[in-house]
Structure 1
Amino acid sequence: MLSFDGVTKRHGPRTVLTDVTFRALPGRVTAFLGPNGAGKSSALRILLGLDRASSGAALVNGLRYRDLRTPLRTVGALLDGSGAHGSRTARAHLAWVARSNGIPGRRVAEVLERVGLAAAGRTRVRRFSLGMGQRLGLAAALLGEPEVLVLDEPANGLDPAGVRWLRELLRGHADGGGTVLLSSHQIGEVAEVADDLAVIAGGRVVAHGPLGRLTAGHGSLEGAYFAWTGAADRGGAADLGGAQRPGGTGPLGGAGRSGSAR
């Protein structure tokens, strides 16, 4: 399980995140949805130990990321593209990541095949398209066969076939008992794959819970999204569609898929 408990982040006088609280549970795809600049990437960086919260905690199975014994075997992450140096081949990049984390070298060929880059394994990364770079980043995230996937805008640069492939990958990971936290601002894609939502606007979580429950009464996820984020922009309270407010014992504290919609 991934948990954000009262995460607040300040940069000098500016507050980026305020009391961010929600859960991402095993067996479910949790979409972290919000407009650009809402604080999604900042929250994920804190979860992955790349930044520190001013207060609160973001935990993986009750532990801070830095305290995980084998991080890449527990959490596979995609932030800011592939992270590979342009002069390296895809295969060399993944081999380096594998060696640095004690992951068997055989996994390199396996993940290249899985993400559709088997034929491009010896191609230098600087020749990759944006979509190929995203696939390489996903390959690195999958190397350690992690139980948790944390992905920031993974569909960027993917063509329609790639988006469909990604959707099937995420759904399969969750259906196999894994945890998926997917950050996105693409409402249509979120509606296709998510079981649960955590919606952030202005650095605050304005709604969270099962997708079906949250969108009830709104007609669509798009309608609900603009109601939540519009209320946040006006400084008012969002219509949570029957979900518990952050910090409570609401729907994300339970198991099962009741109330979800895909």
Structure 2
Amino acid sequence: MITIDRVSKTKSRTLILHDVTFEARPGRVTGFLGPNGAGKTSTLRILLGLDRPQSGTALICGRPYGKLDRPLTTVGALLDGSGAHRARTARAHLRWVAASNGLPDSRADEVLEVVGLTGDARKRAGRFSLGMSRRLGLATALLGDPEVLVLDEPVNGLDPVGIRWMRTFLRDSAAQGRTVLLSSHLMGELAEIADDVIVIDKGRIVIQGRLADVTGDHHTLEDAFFALTAAEADRPW
């Protein structure tokens, strides 16, 4: 389980997060929604030990990320890009990351097969398309067969076939008992796969709950989102 409890953060006297509290539970896909600058990435970075809050706690399976033994075996994360050096091949990158957590080299080829990159194992990461980089990032997240997945815009750069594959993968992951937390701007896509939804705006949680409860009387999750955040749908940025 992921537990965020009253996390607050400011930067240069600007409020980034204020008393952010929510849970993402095993066996469910939890969608994390918010306008640009709402605090989604800041929350995920704190959860993954990449940043520190002024107050509050962010726990994965009851422990801060920094206190996890062999963290890849507990949580797999996909944030910006694949994380691979442009000169490394996909297989070399995965083997290096596996070794850092005491995992066997064989896991590299296993996860490459899972994400459909077996034929590109010897290709350098710098030659990958955006969609291929996302798949390589996901492969990295899966190396330790973790019980928790934290994914930021996982379908970014994927073609329709890739998006459909990702949707199935995420649903299957939850069905296997994993905790899946993902942020996405694609509300129609998120509505297809999320069990629970958390909406954040201006650093504060606006609403959270089951998808049907968050959508409420609105026709779609998108309608609910704009009503809740008072965002302008035709805003040019």
Maintained 8 Å contact 1:108/1:143? yes
| Contact 1:28-1:179 within 8 A present in 2 as well | yes
Letter in 2 for 1:173: S
Cα deviation for residue 216 of structure 1 reads 2.2
Q: Distance in 2 between matches of 1:218 and 1:105?
A: 49
Q: What percent of counterpart residues are identical? A: 63
SS at match of 2:102: coil
Look up the match of 2:41.
Answer: 41
Q: 1:6-155 counterparts in 2 under 5 A?
A: 6-155=6-155
Equivalent position amino acid for 1:211 in 2: L
Letter in 2 for 1:222: E
Deviation track 1:186-224 (CA, whole Å, cap 9, x = no partner) reads 111110100000101111110100001221211211111
Deviations 1:207-248 (A, max 9, x none): 1000012212112111111111118xxxxxxxxxxxxxxxxx
Write the distance in 1 (CA, Å) between the matches of 2:176 and 2:97. Answer: 25
Report how many residues are paired.
Answer: 231
3-state SS, counterpart of residue 230 of structure 2: helix
C-alpha displacement at 1:48, in angstroms? 0.3
RMSD across aligned positions (CA): 0.9
| Offset at residue 147 of structure 1 (A) | 0.3
After TM superposition, what 4+ stretches of structure 1 lie above 3 angstroms from structure 2?
A: none
Contact 1:115 1:136 in 2 (8 A): yes
1:175-195 per-position Cα deviation (integer Å, ceiling 9, x unaligned) = 011100001111111101000
Q: 2:188 corresponds to which letter in structure 1? A: G
User: Aligned partners of 1:197, 1:90: CA distance in 2, in Å?
Assistant: 33
> Which residue in the other structure is 2:203 paired with?
203
- TM-score, structure 1 normalization: 0.87
Structure 1 counterpart of 2:178 = 178
Gaps (5+ residues) in structure 2? 232-237
- Is the Cα–Cα contact under 8 Å of residues 36 and 185 in structure 1 kept in the other structure? no
Q: SS in structure 2 opposite 1:56?
A: strand
Aligned partner of 1:41: which letter?
T
Task: Give yes or no for the alignment of 1:213 onto 2:213.
Answer: yes
